[in-house]
Amino acid sequence: MQNFDVVVIGAGPGGYVAAIRASQLGKKVAVIEKEHLGGVCLNWGCIPTKALLRSAEVLHLINHANEFGIEVGQVKVNLAKMVERSRKIAGQLSTGIKGLLAKNKVTVFYGEASFEKANTLKIKGEKIETIEAKNVIIATGAKARMLPGVEAHPRIWTAKQAMTPEFTPKSLLVIGSGAIGIEFASFYRTLGVEVTVIEMQTRILPNEDSEISALAQKQFEKHGMKFHLGSTSKLTLSKDHVDAVISKDGKEIEKLKVDAVIVAIGISGNTENLGFEKTKVKIEKGQILVNEWCETAEKGVYAIGDVAGAPWLAHKASHEGILAVEHMFGVKGLHPIKATNIPGCTYSHPQIASIGLTEEKAKSAGHTLKVGRFPYRGNGKAIALGEPEGLVKTIYDAKTGELLGAHMIGAEVTELVQGFAIGKTLETTEAEIMHTIFPHPTLSEMMHESTLDAYGKVIHY
């Protein structure tokens, strides 16, 4: 029987990163993967969706080419080629992960893993084999949650089906307005599809700052999207369409007939058939319970990423993978992850990005606030790019100057947010940001101006 220092179950952005870090520490490492190296993120999530959204962005720019002094002839959308490009990129990166694991001498087993006991794993692949591990990291990810009584269908899509559609819908209903729902709504709307979004909460992007949510909805509506908030839907399948009855406060408000429906109401952890009953691992509400170091109730068994709970983000999973490995092998100077230091991004048009506390949560936590805002229309680079719609909002503690949160909407905010992420990790105050020299002309200048605005010193607006 083969014996390893670390065995990682799942080779997604948490699992493969954990395996590589363990190898760097000189450990004998194995990964067990039942489907694709790179996991959902690389194969069916983060990367291929961004490839599709890039196609939509190019189409958006072409449709506005005349504003930039460029005359373009008839534009034709080829969704099949967009999907083909997206799948090619996913395949390229998955192959890259295989190379990285080989370079770091990580043994890869293909199959489904389950615990025989805390340090013994059975692998069901082309053959059944058993291996032993001094430490185990569970990185099995999550799956899309479906509506009660509704199953995936050629016209009722999960995110996976939405990025490899068998046909181009003329009309689309998106159920759920979190990052995934909004990204697909934005993509298909840019292609010219009639898009309606239903959200049970009273505003879209409910985890974002309410001011940013409102601005986002206004921009999406300007692009032709329709929204029903505080609403639910009942779906009925027909041969060539889906009938949807939309209700609010228990009353029917609209009937829709659409070509397809995307269900984007969240995910649930992959905790089934792993043999946890043979261990002390505890599960609650579909996720594995862990401590601040990602360790479960079973000593030497860790859980990271989506299966260990929100926020369901690839970069959080990767960071947890490194944290878990370094903790199990006694690396000094570790710090638990602070949820308020994890940035979140939505790659729609316009983009949305945030980190830390919203204004509402900061107030409810008892902080006295200094809030700054700077609009894109006050920034020279944004105007030159033809992207004058957007906002950078910063939230500081009035007593200490601590940066509590930053919330942005507009071009390239998914890149800008990392500046605030570094600031929060360094426990910055407004003084450091005010005294930082930002390059000109850049969008990043708005981060500076927003901070200046919080303290009554804004220059350009």
Q: Which residues are catalytic?
A: 440
3-state secondary structure of 273: coil
Question: What count of other Cβ atoms lies within 10 Å of the Cβ of residue 89?
Answer: 17
Ordered DSSP codes for 387-424: ----EEEEEEETTT-BEEEEEEESTTHHHHHHHHHHHH
Only one residue has tokens 């204004």, namely 359
Rounded-to-integer distance, Cα 87 and Cα 101, Å: 21
Cα 180 from chain centroid? Answer: 7
Q: Angle CA(49)–CA(52)–CA(53) in degrees, nearest 5?
A: 85
Give the DSSP letter string of 75-121: ----HHHHHHHHHHHHHHHHHHHHHHHHHTT-EEEESEEEEEETTEE
Q: How far apart are the first and last CA of the chain?
A: 69
Strands across the sheet containing 403-409: 344-346, 352-356, 403-409, 391-397, 369-375
The amino acid present at 187, given as its one-letter code, is F
- Local structure of 332: helix, strand or coil: coil
Determine the residue type at 214: A
